[in-house]
Amino acid sequence: MKPATPKSNFLRQIIDADLASGKVQSIVTRFPPEPNGYLHIGHAKAICISYGLAEDYNGTYHLRFDDTNPVAEKSEYVDSIKKDIAWLGFDWGEHLYFASDYFERMADIAVGLIEKGLAYVDSLSKEKIREYRGNLNEVGKDSPYRNRSVEENLDLFEKMKSGEFDDGEVVLRAKIDMESPNIVMRDPVIYRVLKAHHHRQGDKWNIYPMYDYAHCLEDAFEKITHSLCSLEFENNRELYDWLIEKTGMDPAPHQYEFARLNLGYTVMSKRWLKKLVVENHVSGWDDPRMPTLAGMRRRGIPFEAVREFCDMIGVAKANSLVDVAMFEFAIRDELNTRAKRVMCVLDPLKLTITNYEGENETLACPYWPRGFDRDETRPVHFSKTVYIERSDFSETPPKKWKRLEKGVEVRLRYAYIIKVNEVIKNEEGEIIELLCTYDKSSKSGSDTSGKKVRRVVHWVDFKTSIEVQVNLYDRLFINERPDVGGDFSLEKELNPQSLVEKKARIETSIVNDDLDTRYQFERHGYFWRDEASDSKAIIFNRIVSLKDSWAKENAKSAPEKPKEKKSSTPRSSEPVMTWRDRVRGENAQLQKDFEEYKSLGLIEVDADVLSGTPSLSHFYKAVSDKGGNPKNLASWIVNVMLPFYDDHFDYSTLGFQPQVIANLIEQVESKSITSAAGKKIFEMIFEGERRSIQTLIEDEGFKKVTDEATLLKWIDEVMVENPKQLEMYKGGKDSLFGFFVGQVMKKSRGAADGVLVKSLLKDQL
RNA sequence: AGAGGUAUCGCCAAGCGGUAAGGCUUCAGCUUUUGGUGCUGGUAUCCCAGGUUCGAAUCCUGGUACCUCUGCCA
What are the tens digits of pLDDT across the range A681-713?
999 999 888 888 999 898 888 999 999 999 999
Give the whole-number percent of chain A exceeding pLDDT 70.
96
Which nucleotide across the nucleic acid strands is nearest to A65, CA versus C1'?
A: B74
Supply the mean pLDDT for chain A: 93
Q: What is the pLDDT of residues A379-394, one digit of tens each?
A: 999 999 999 999 999 9
**Is the model's pLDDT at A560 over the cut of 50?**
no
A111 touches strand B (CB under 7 A): no
Contact flag, residue A601 CB and nucleic strand B, below 7 A: no
A648 touches strand B (CB under 7 A): no
Q: CA(A561)–C1'(B10) in Å?
A: 10
Tell me: the pLDDT tens digits for A103-120? 999 999 999 999 999 999
Q: Tell me, in Å, how far CA of A370 is from C1' of B37?
A: 9
**Cα A680 from Cα A571, distance rounded (Å):** 35
Q: Which residues 339-368 in chain A have a CB closer than 7 A to strand B?
A: 341
Per-residue pLDDT at A558 exceeds 60: no
Max mean pLDDT among A178-182, A580-584, A749-753 falls in A178-182
A524-538: pLDDT as tens digits: 999 999 999 998 899
All residues at 6 or more sequence positions from A164 whose CB lies less than 8 Å from its CB, including other chains: none
Sign of CA dihedral A757, A760, A764, A765: positive
| Residue A4: CB less than 7 A from any atom in strand B | yes
Looking at A54-58, A470-474, A478-482, which range is the least confident one?
A: A478-482
Strand B lies under 7 A from the Cβ of residue A135:
yes
Which of A283-287, A328-332, A448-452, A556-560 shows the lowest per-residue confidence on average (mean pLDDT)? Answer: A556-560
Band the pLDDT of A576: cuts 50, 70, 90. low
**Cα–Cα distance, A338 to A89 (Å, whole number):** 18
**A466 touches A450 (CB < 8 A):** no
Nucleotides of B under 7 A from a protein CB: 1-8, 10-27, 32-39, 45, 47-56, 59-74
CA closest to C1' of B5 belongs to A234
Provide the pLDDT for residue A486: 62
Helices A324-336 & A303-313, crossing angle to 10 degrees? 130
CB of A665 within 7 Å of some strand B atom: no
pLDDT at A555: 66
- Of residues 451 to 510 in chain A, which lie within 7 A of strand B by their beta carbon? 454, 456, 458
Number of neighbouring beta carbons within 10 Å of residue A364:
11
- What is the model's pLDDT at position A689? 86
Residues 712-741 of A with CB under 7 A from strand B: 725, 728, 733, 735-736, 738-739, 741
Residue A623's pLDDT is what?
A: 93
Q: Which nucleotide is nearest to A576 (CA to C1')?
A: B62
Is the pLDDT score of A264 beyond 90?
Answer: yes
Q: Which of residues 146-205 of A touch strand B (CB under 7 A)?
A: 167-171, 181-184, 188-189, 192-194
CB within 7 A of strand B (chain A, 416-455)? 444-445, 447, 454
User: What is the edge-to-edge ordering of all strands in the sheet holding A171-174?
Assistant: A119-122, A171-174, A189-193, A207-209
Q: How far is the CA of A319 from the C1' of B4 (A)?
A: 15
Q: What is the pLDDT of residue A577?
A: 64
Q: Which of residues 64-83 of A touch strand B (CB under 7 A)?
A: 66, 68-69, 72
Distance from CA(A412) to C1'(B67), angstroms, rounded: 56
Say if residues A637 and A664 touch (Cβ distance below 8 Å). no
- Å between A138 CA and B3 C1'? 12
SS (H, E, C) A672-684: CCCHHHHHHHHHH
- Nearest nucleotide to the CA of A735, by C1', is B19
- Global pTM reads 0.94
Whether any strand B atom is under 7 angstroms from the Cβ of A577: the reply reads: yes
A236 touches strand B (CB under 7 A): yes
* A603 nearest nt, CA–C1': B51
What is the C-alpha separation between A608 and A606, in angstroms, rounded? 5
Nucleotide nearest A403, CA–C1', reads: B35
Q: Would you list the DSSP string of A611-625?
A: TSSHHHHHHHHHHHH
Bridge-based pairing of strands A417-425 and A459-461 is unpaired
Q: Mean pLDDT across the stretch A163-175?
A: 97
Other Cβ atoms closer than 10 A to A248: 11
| Strand B neighbours among A 532-561, CB < 7 A | 546-550, 552-553
**Span A79-102, average pLDDT:** 98
- Burial of residue A258 (number of CB atoms within 10 Å: 0-12, 13-18, 19+): buried
Chain A residues 266-285 within 7 Å (CB) of strand B? none
Strand B proximal to A674 Cβ, under 7 A: yes
The whole-number Å distance from A135's CA to B63's C1' is 27
Considering only CA atoms, which residue is closest to the C1' of nucleotide B23? A3
Report chain A's C-alpha Rg in angstroms: 36
CB proximity A10–strand B (7 Å threshold) = yes
Q: Give yes or no for CB of A617 within 7 Å of strand B.
A: no
Residues in chain A, total: 765
ipTM score above 0.85:
yes
Q: What is the pLDDT of residue A407?
A: 94
Amino acid A6 CA to nucleotide B72 C1' distance, rounded Å = 43
At A485 the pLDDT is: 66
CA dihedral A132, A135, A140, A145 (to 10 degrees): 30
205-224 of chain A touching strand B, CB 7 A cut-off: 208, 210-212, 215
Catalytic residue IDs of A: 34, 260, 270
Q: What is the mean pLDDT of residues A261-287?
A: 96
Q: Is residue A730 predicted with pLDDT exceeding 90?
A: no
Does the CB of A603 sit below 7 A from strand B?
A: yes
Q: What is the pLDDT of residues A195-253, one digit of tens each?
A: 999 999 999 999 999 999 999 999 999 999 999 999 999 999 999 999 999 999 999 99
Task: Give the model confidence (pLDDT) of A128-149 as tens digits.
Answer: 999 999 999 999 999 999 999 9
- The whole-number average pLDDT for the span A265-273 is 95
